[in-house]
Structure 1
């Protein structure tokens, strides 16, 4: 049996594309992949991997997001340690984990209870995660 692998590219708005470029975040280095067993997010140099069993829920969230709080690199929420991988201000998908996962720091000291991604087809990503 062949493993399923679904790729979800990010949807870049022009302003976000420009802000992300110095951080190595481009359309060829930013994507979300859902396999039969795991969620994988790549956002330039940042990576997040979580077993599907660790996903408590996924929901669509709408913007507008504040440009200064979301454009450029991956962003850490100081309020709840959630991580945001944003390439537009309109909206995305928020994934809540049962057990927080690492992503923002190379030593994996910070763990994130949620991750928000601004993929091109949020409805299709939600369908895969549910």
Structure 2
């Protein structure tokens, strides 16, 4: 099963995102073939759905911490790929994953994706995990 989720772009995020090559054509999350794959402009994240330990819908993000390119949390090393401040899906991983740093020196124990359907993305991950069992 192949499910693709588009990011929900709010007007205040469109121009800053575009400066980093992030637009509706280059920003999406896909669940397929046992993998969770995200593209956010030139940045990529890919991991097995079996590496996902939890998902939570979150929101009310601070604009300065989410606008533009992906952001690294100094608190927990998580990565945020955000196109709005309202809501998204926080995904936690058993083994930290690559996203910001192509060398893999910095790995992320979690990622937040502000897709248009965060509940649908959570369900797709759960369904794909069930299929891989």
Q: Which TM-score tier does this pair reach, normalised by the shorter chain? A: over 0.9
1:68 Cα offset (Å): 0.8
Aligned residues: 126
Structure 2 residue 3 is the aligned partner of structure 1 residue 6: yes
Gaps of 5+ in 2: 127-133
Runs of 4+, deviation exceeding 6 Å: none
Q: Choose the corresponding residue for 2:49, options 46, 49, 52.
A: 52
Partner in structure 1 of residue 93 of structure 2: 97
Matches within 5 A, 1:1-130: 4-63=1-60, 65-130=61-126
* Secondary structure, counterpart of 1:34 in structure 2: strand
* Secondary structure, counterpart of 1:72 in structure 2: coil
1:36 Cα offset (Å): 3.2
The CA RMSD measured in Å over matched residues stands at 0.7
Give the TM-score normalised by the residue count of structure 2.
0.92
CA distance in 2: counterparts of 1:112 and 1:94, whole angstroms = 12
1:33 Cα offset (Å): 0.2
1:75 Cα offset (Å): 0.3
Gaps of 5+ in 1: none
The CA deviation string for residues 48-103 of structure 1, in whole angstroms up to 9 with x for no partner, is: 0010110001111121x111110000000011100000000001000000000011
Give the TM-score normalised by the residue count of structure 1.
0.95
